[in-house]
Amino acid sequence: MDKSNRISRAFYQQLARLFYAIAATDGKVRKEEEEELKKIVKNEWLSFDASFDEYGIDFVCYISITFDWLQENDWGIKRAISDFKTYRESNKNLFTDPINQLILKTSAAITSAFATQNKSELVLLNKLNMVLNN
């Protein structure tokens, strides 16, 4: 696997961890949140990156694949924002303004997919906004 494939896969897996943490911040990932994420991945993320891995899988699909794995394995979310911040600081070139805006849009859509945003979701969105805008 070449370096660009590893970078792309790691980028989308990191986004999946972030989106999972946002969906699970209130203690449960709801079906509506998962469906909203998958809709945005299909309708918006694929337009940002149409590249494929060595197996013919769209790199963007690693968001959904990893999200599903995290959900099945009850992944802990406590360090999600700090891990994401560390990853972003090490890979600033991957975080363009359009990507940052889509990350924020996706995150807000996940939190709004079921009822309204609660306090813990708003706090997490605020922290994410600060990470992406610093």
64-77 confidence digits (pLDDT tens) = 999 999 988 877 88
| The pLDDT of residue 5 | 66
Task: Write out pLDDT tens, residues 80-99.
Answer: 899 999 999 999 999 999 99
Angle at CA of residue 77, ends 86 and 129, nearest 5°: 55
Q: Is 24 within 8 Å of 77 (Cβ atoms)?
A: yes
Mean of pLDDT values over 97-106:
95
Closest CA to 87 of 71, 103, 72, 109: 103
pLDDT at 117 over 80: no
Cα 9 to Cα 19: distance, rounded to the nearest angstrom: 15
Read off the pTM: 0.91
